[in-house]
Amino acid sequence: MKRIGVLTSGGDAPGMNAAIRAVVRTAIAENMEIYGIERGYEGMINGEIRRMDISSVGDIIHRGGTILKTARSERFVTPEGFQRGLDMIENFGLEGLVVIGGDGSLTGGLELSRAGVPVMGLPGTIDNDLAYTDFTIGFDTSVNTVLNAIGNIRDTSSSHERTTVVEVMGRNCGDIALYAGLAGGAETVLIPEVEADISSICKKIIIGKNRGKVHSLIVRAEGVKMTSQELAKVLEERTGIETKVVVLGYVQRGGSPTARDRMLASQVGYRAVQLLKEDSSSRAIGISGNRIIDIDLEQALKMQRIADTSLIRLAEILS
Ligand code: F6P
C-alpha cells in the first residue's frame, strides 16, 4: 500500500491531533503518501483532501481539537453522499483509510470497508463508550478537566453550604461521571447504567450535614433520565438545602491532552499505519489490559459495552 488517508469525525476529543501526527509520521517513515481529509466524511464528499508532510503535523501533539476539523455528516449516510465519498477516495487513489472518531464515525468506516476500502478505526471520543477498548482517546483529558472543575465548585459550594449538581457529558455512558466523581470525592455519582434512588441521595445529604459536612457534590452523567434541573429541584425540596446546577458542557471537549491520551493516540496511530502497510483487512485499534490491540472492525462495533460494576460499587462505598 502506497497512499492512505486520515480523517477525524464526530465530536472532537483531546488527543486527536496526537493521533493524526502519529499516523502522518509513521506513514512517511514507511515511505507511504499520506493525505488528510478535512471535516470528516463531509470533507470526503467535498474532496477536501490534501497531501500531508512531516511539518504539517509539527507542534500539534499538545493541542486540543483537531487540525483536520471535524463534522457530523448527514450526507454521508445517504446512498448518494456515500457514493460521492467513495468516488473521492478513488479520485485521490487512496488505498486505505484511518478513521479517528467514536461509534458513528467507525460505523461509517465499516460501511466503506464493506465497499472495499481497508479502514483502520481509532477510538477518538471523550465518552469512553466503545466496548472493544478499555479507554478512548480524549477520555482521560476530559476526566481531568471535570476534576479541576469539581475542585473549584467544591470551594464555592462549601462557602455557601450548598448542594451542587455537576452535569457531565458522555452520551449514554457514565464513565466520565464515574471516574471524575470517584477521583473528585463526590457524594453521589449518577450514571445511565444504574437507576437513581432519590431517597437514598437525600438521606446521604442529610446524614452528611448532620456530621458537619458543609457541602454536597452530585455528579450526574448527561444520559441519566432525570434532568439536572429536575434533580436539583427535588433535592432542594426534600433536604431543605439550596441546590445549584453546573452544566460543564463543551469545556470537557477542549484542552491540552494528558500524557495518557497522547500516549494512547501515538500508539494506536502507529499500529493503524503498520496494519495498512501489511494490507490487513479492516480493524479497530484500542487498548486492553495496557496492551495495544486490534480486532476486526465489524466485531468491535458489535460488542456490547458493560459498565464496570466494581467502580460503581466503589463509588457507592466511598461516597
Ligand atoms: O460524543 C462526544 C459528545 O461530546 C457527547 O458527550 C455529547 O453528548 C455530544 O458529543 C455532543 O455533541 P455535539 O457536539 O453535536 O453537541
CATH code of 210's domain: 3.40.50.460
Cβ–ligand 1 contact at 220 (below 6 Å): no
DSSP 137: B
Report how far residue 121's alpha carbon sits from residue 292's, in angstroms, rounded to the nearest whole number: 13
Q: How confident is the model at residue 312 (pLDDT cuts 50, 70, 90)?
A: confident
Q: Is the pLDDT of residue 131 over 90?
A: yes
For ligand 1, say whether the CB of 104 is within 6 Å of any of its atoms: no
Please report whether residue 311 resides in a domain.
Answer: no
Same domain, 288 and 241: no
Cα distance between residue 19 and residue 254, in whole Å: 15
> 44 pLDDT band (50/70/90 cuts)?
very high
Co-location of 128 and 265 in the same domain = yes
Q: Are residues 7 and 132 in the same domain?
A: yes
Specify the pLDDT at position 8.
Answer: 98
Give 171 Cα–ligand 1 centroid separation in angstroms: 7
Q: Would residue 316 count as lying in a domain?
A: no
Query: Is 269 contained in some domain?
Result: yes
Binned at pLDDT 50, 70 and 90, residue 21 comes out as very high
Contact (Cβ atoms closer than 8 angstroms) between residue 86 and residue 115:
yes
70 and 148 housed in the same domain: no
176 lines ligand 1 (CB under 6 A): no
Q: In this structure, how many other beta carbons lie within 10 angstroms of the beta carbon of residue 255? A: 17
Residue 317 pLDDT > 80: yes
Same domain, 230 and 81: no
Q: Residues 180, 42: one domain?
A: no
Q: For residue 315, what pLDDT is reported?
A: 87
Task: Assess whether 75 and 158 both reside in one domain.
Answer: no
Q: Are residues 159 and 121 in the same domain?
A: no
Instruction: Decide whether any atom of ligand 1 lies within 6 Å of the 171 Cβ.
Output: yes
**Residues forming a β-bridge with 199:** none
Return phi, psi of residue 69, to 5°. Answer: 65, 165
- Based on the structure, what is the number of domains in the chain? 2
Is 60 contained in some domain? Answer: yes
- Tell me the C-alpha to C-alpha distance, in Å, between residue 126 and each of 16, 39, 58: 10, 18, 24
| Same domain assignment for residues 19 and 153 | no
Of the candidates 169, 205, 173, which has an alpha carbon nearest to the alpha carbon of residue 187?
Answer: 205
Cα of 239 to ligand 1 centre, how many Å?
A: 32
Q: Whose CA is nearest to atom 11 of ligand 1?
A: 11
Q: Is residue 237 part of a domain?
A: yes
Average pLDDT over residues 21-29: 98
The residue among 228, 253, 278 that closes a domain is: 253
Quick one: 151 and 238 in the same domain? Answer: yes
What's the average model confidence in pLDDT over 154-160?
A: 97
Q: Say if residue 85's pLDDT is above 90.
A: yes
The answer on pLDDT for 302 being more than 80 is yes
CATH number, residue 95: 3.40.50.450
Could you give the 3-state DSSP secondary structure of residue 83? helix
Whether residue 308 lies inside any domain: the answer is no
Distances from the Cα of 14 to the Cαs of 17, 50, 268, in angstroms?
A: 7, 23, 15
Tell me: pLDDT of 1 over 80.
Answer: no
- Dump pLDDT digits (tens) for 250-259: 999 999 999 9
14 in contact with ligand 1, CB cutoff 6 A: no
Beta strands in 146-304 (DSSP E): 163-168, 188-190, 216-221, 243-247, 283-288, 291-296
Please spell the DSSP secondary structure of 265-286, one letter per residue. Answer: HHHHHHHHHHHHHTT---EEEE
Q: 3-class SS at 151?
A: helix
| 238 Cα to the center of ligand 1, angstroms | 32
Q: Extract the C-alpha cell encoding 303.
A: 460488542
- Residue 85 cell numbers, joined: 465519498
Region 171-181 average pLDDT: 97
181-226 pLDDT per residue, tens: 999 999 999 999 999 999 999 999 999 999 999 999 999 999 999 9
Average pLDDT, the chain: 97
- Burial zone of 292 (CB within 10 Å; 0-12 exposed, 13-18 middle, 19+ buried): middle
Same-domain pairing of 124 and 263: yes
Q: What is the enclosing helix (H) or strand (E) of 52?
A: strand 49-52
Tally of residues, the chain: 319
Residue 226 lies in a domain: yes
Q: Identify whether residues 147 and 222 lie together within a single domain.
A: yes
Res. 240: pLDDT tops 90 = yes
Is 134 an active-site residue? no
- Residue whose CA is at the smallest distance from ligand 1 atom 15: 11
Q: Is residue 116 part of a domain?
A: yes
Q: Which residue out of 12, 103, 127, 294 is catalytically annotated? A: 127
Last-in-domain residue among 253, 270, 291: 253
Q: Which domain holds residue 176?
A: 139-253
* Domain end position, chosen among 217, 235, 253: 253
